Chains A and B, each alone.
Chain A
Amino acid sequence: MSKHSASGPPGQAPDANTAALRKPRRKRVVLNDSRNPVTVVRTITELEEQTSVGEVLVRNLLRAQFKTSMWLAALTLTPLVGLPLAFYLCPAFAAATLFGVRLPWLLIGVLPFALLFGVGYWHNRLAERHEKDFVNMVES
């Protein structure tokens, strides 16, 4: 492996020789893991084999996730799209000042980042909740 000769000609780099020379990595072999209940396996099989039950479950999850994403996207885009329009239509708003700083500079330069992080954080929680509900449904 040419990690030892990074500046050497790349064409002569041997490929897997060193990897083969290394000691094989230890692996844990599990033949039958009792922690996974049988019912889960059955539902998962059901999901995999696209039975009607499984398909309805997946469709519901998909719809819930998509709806959440769309709502949050709309929530974010409303101010981002509305601000330029407001500045354009209302010059007085565009020239307003707050604490000696022009308001638009604060509204575009600082606020959106807090909004983006907040929405992102919220989405993460909602999406994880949908997934947890789904897993609970599958496992019950």
Chain B
Amino acid sequence: MDLNPLALAAILLIGAVTWYLGFHSSWLANTTPDFLVARRIVRSRRNAAAIAGEYLSAASFLGVAGLILKDGVDALWYSVGFAAGHLALLLFVAAPLRRSGAYTLPDFAEARLGSTGLRALCTVFVVLIGIFYLVPQLQTAGLTLAAIMPVPPWVGAVVVLVLVTISVFGGGMRSITVVQAFQYWVKLFALAVPTFILITVFVVGHPMQQPLSADRPPDFVADTTITVPAPVQVQVAEPVRLVAHGTIDGAPVDSEVVWYAGTHEVGAGTRLEFGKGTAVPTVASAPATNSAWLRPEAGGISTLLGTYSLILALFLGTMGLPHVLVRFYTNPNGRAARRTTVHVLLLLGLFYLFPTALGALSRLYVPELLVTGQTDVTVLMLPEKMLPGLAGEILGAVIAAGAFAAFLSTSSGLLVSMAGVLSTDALPGRVRDFRWAALVAGVVPLALAVLLPPGDVSLSVGLSFALAASTFCPVLVIGVWWRKLTWVGAAAGIVVGGGMVLVALIMNIVSEYTGRWAPWFVAQPALITVPIAFATVLIVSLATPRKIPEDVNRILLRLHAPDPLGFIRDRDVARFGENRAKPTDGRHRR
């Protein structure tokens, strides 16, 4: 792709402001608690913006619109689920979790159940979820940078990770709060303004080529040349005449061909030239015609179950995401945690209106992405297709800057939380260790991001939600509300639920390479794994009543007693001090 100097300048600006804010406020971050929990004085409104800013990742900023372009109205469940997850968090765990005074999920598990073994298990899964979440972010960063300047995809991943690591090294959590809050507004602005302008352009300037309800595929809006980066299966609904150079259906082609209705296998590196006005062939997994795209649940019973599975994963998975939870500990008390979450719901609801509009517009203006199925860059390409010239370039630059804000904020949030867990559990837990842990937590996902082939960012992120929903959600919800939970039950639930999701994940990758034979529950297993995980926790806990912690009543009192009574106790300040006691079982019970 050609160099787009405006977009590059906008990204540099975002990087510079992020770095400045992080560096500037790191002057204030002096002590270890500053580093890890922002001294707990972050105000609820700014904290809400920070949570939303941290949460709105590449999957929300780019991925949702891309999926809407491809899958249509069914993809809207992603935005709904991403927001609804915070409601589940609010209803079931926000305030009690804050009052537990723990800093990370392993902290909570140990404080509630008093087992260091369970703590180690939780640490493993926090890091796993963090890695699964970080890899697609970095890959999309690579795609984005490759879309605006001529560099290979790994460059973007490296740039994002280096920027984030520097920022984390500088100021830890406190500076990040400022940065994240700033980045929420950047992202909202970077999506809202182009949406309004493009909708105006659409309504005023461009007569619609064909109605979106037509029972045929979308048309190419201009002569288009597409180079297929990876082997892809396309479906053709209407006969298409095109010029192809490369391999099609396993045979070398270097001339004009005609595709009749059916599916065709296009080899990697093949160049396809389509004329203006020809029907767009789409990837085999997406609806081929506009009328099917416009209708919900057009894919039969497996689509319906897949939708439910997705809703469940996103609804319950959010509360288990490490980077969201860490943010909650910066609230001063349980009441503030609840208020912050309500505010987050407002901010997210506002944001998610825009990807929908952009995704629907792109069905009209950038249908060529449907051929390769790599629709994550949809939002970046839309402005220049609708508004050729300087105006489109400026809007494209604004969106690119917002996308980079998304990469930076989510990646730094994940990095901080993973580093926090690693440094307190695997290392002595001083500031220096926090920095080393951040370095380690960044390098592994970077290697994976470069090695693994990129998929749809929202789909990959959906799997890490499923993992969180099948491991931490049962432990959190049951732990907060049920006295009879034991560490054996919690560990069994995490192992069973997490194990099943990991198996599904591996099956999914194998299926990608060997002809996509996997059914819906492999791509989104939450509908099966979450109930099983909950049942495992309940049954095993009931079977091991002697392992119920002795002080369970006191702990539940602390979780639920209103803040004015003063039962809240923050352990981390003592814990993260220089002279930490040797780890013993139940070391929180002071």
* Known contacts A108-B76, A113-B352: A58-B345 contact under CB 8 Å: no
Contact digits for A78-96, partner B, Cβ 8 Å, 1 yes 0 no: 0011011101100100110
Cβ contacts under 8 Å, B341 to chain A: 120
Cβ contacts under 8 Å, A47 to chain B: 557, 561, 565, 567
Instruction: Please tell me if the beta carbons of A131 and B356 are within 8 angstroms of each other in the complex.
Output: no
Contact digits for B11-36, partner A, Cβ 8 Å, 1 yes 0 no: 00000000000010011011110000
Cβ contacts under 8 Å, A113 to chain B: 80, 83, 345, 348-350, 352-353
Q: Which of A102, A110, A124 contacts B339 (CB 8 A)?
A: A124
A65 to B557 CA separation, bound complex (whole angstroms): 13
A121 to B55 CA separation, bound complex (whole angstroms): 20
Q: Which of B77, B308, B554 contacts A48 (CB 8 A)?
A: B554
Instruction: Please tell me if the beta carbons of A44 and B565 are within 8 angstroms of each other in the complex.
Output: yes
Cβ contacts under 8 Å, B560 to chain A: 58, 61-62, 65
Instruction: Please tell me if the beta carbons of B556 and A124 are within 8 angstroms of each other in the complex.
Output: no
* Known contacts A47-B557, A120-B341, A124-B338: A18-B30 contact under CB 8 Å: yes
Q: Which of A6, A65, A69 contacts B166 (CB 8 A)?
A: A6
Quote the shortest CB–CB distance from B343 to chain A (angstroms): 9
Quote the shortest CB–CB distance from B104 to chain A (angstroms): 21
Number of interface residues of A (CB under 8 A): 63
Q: For residues 35 through 50 of chain A, which have their beta carbon under 8 Å from a beta carbon of chain B? A: 40, 44, 47-48, 50
A61 to B560 CA separation, bound complex (whole angstroms): 8
* Known contacts A7-B166, A117-B342: A108-B77 contact under CB 8 Å: yes
Quote the shortest CB–CB distance from B339 to chain A (angstroms): 6
A15 to B171 CA separation, bound complex (whole angstroms): 13
Instruction: Please tell me if the beta carbons of A94 and B353 are within 8 angstroms of each other in the complex.
Output: no
Q: How large is the interface on B (under 10, 10 to 19, 20 to 34, 35 or more residues)?
A: 35 or more
Instruction: Please tell me if the beta carbons of A10 and B439 are within 8 angstroms of each other in the complex.
Output: yes
Q: For residues 544 through 590 of chain B, which have their beta carbon under 8 Å from a beta carbon of chain A? A: 553-554, 556-557, 560-567, 578
Q: Which of B169, B297, B338, B556 contacts A62 (CB 8 A)?
A: B556
Instruction: Please tell me if the beta carbons of A110 and B84 are within 8 angstroms of each other in the complex.
Output: no
- Across the interface, name the chain A residue whose C-beta is closest to B346: A117
Quote the shortest CB–CB distance from A67 to chain B (angstroms): 11
A69 to B338 CA separation, bound complex (whole angstroms): 13
Contact digits for B429-449, partner A, Cβ 8 Å, 1 yes 0 no: 011100110010000000000
- Across the interface, name the chain B residue whose C-beta is closest to A103: B296
Q: For residues 279 through 307 of chain B, which have their beta carbon under 8 Å from a beta carbon of chain A? A: 294-298, 301, 304, 307
- Across the interface, name the chain A residue whose C-beta is closest to B166: A6
Contact digits for B346-364, partner A, Cβ 8 Å, 1 yes 0 no: 1011101100100010000
Q: Total A-B pairs in contact (CB under 8 Å)? A: 176
Cβ contacts under 8 Å, B91 to chain A: 69, 72-73, 123
Quote the shortest CB–CB distance from B30 to chain A (angstroms): 5
Cβ contacts under 8 Å, B431 to chain A: 1, 13, 15
Instruction: Please tell me if the beta carbons of A6 and B23 are within 8 angstroms of each other in the complex.
Output: yes
Contact digits for B57-95, partner A, Cβ 8 Å, 1 yes 0 no: 000000000000000010011011001101110111001
Instruction: Please tell me if the beta carbons of A73 and B308 are within 8 angstroms of each other in the complex.
Output: no
Cβ contacts under 8 Å, B481 to chain A: 62, 66
Q: Does B335 contact A (CB under 8 A)?
A: yes
Q: For residues 108 through 126 of chain A, which have their beta carbon under 8 Å from a beta carbon of chain B? A: 108-110, 112-114, 116-117, 119-121, 123-124
Instruction: Please tell me if the beta carbons of B171 and A3 are within 8 angstroms of each other in the complex.
Output: yes
Q: Which of B26, B90, B353, B554 contacts A120 (CB 8 A)?
A: B90
Instruction: Please tell me if the beta carbons of B83 and A116 are within 8 angstroms of each other in the complex.
Output: yes
Q: Which of B294, B335, B349 contacts A131 (CB 8 A)?
A: B335
Quote the shortest CB–CB distance from B238 to chain A (angstroms): 22
Instruction: Please tell me if the beta carbons of A112 and B296 are within 8 angstroms of each other in the complex.
Output: no
Q: Does B101 contact A (CB under 8 A)?
A: no
Q: Which of B87, B169, B346, B352 contacts A119 (CB 8 A)?
A: B87
* Known contacts A19-B30, A117-B345: A127-B73 contact under CB 8 Å: no
Instruction: Please tell me if the beta carbons of A58 and B561 are within 8 angstroms of each other in the complex.
Output: yes
Instruction: Please tell me if the beta carbons of A13 and B435 are within 8 angstroms of each other in the complex.
Output: yes
Q: Does B373 contact A (CB under 8 A)?
A: no
Cβ contacts under 8 Å, A83 to chain B: 296
15 A-B Cβ contacts within 8 A? A1-B30, A1-B431, A2-B435, A6-B170, A18-B30, A47-B567, A69-B91, A73-B87, A77-B315, A94-B297, A102-B294, A110-B353, A113-B353, A117-B346, A128-B335
12 additional A-B pairs beyond A69-B91, A109-B79, A116-B86, beta carbons within 8 Å, are A2-B169, A6-B166, A19-B31, A44-B566, A62-B556, A73-B91, A77-B315, A88-B304, A108-B80, A116-B83, A116-B87, A123-B91
By Cβ-Cβ distance, the 9 closest A-B pairs, closest first, are A113-B349, A131-B562, A6-B170, A108-B76, A87-B296, A69-B91, A10-B435, A3-B26, A88-B297
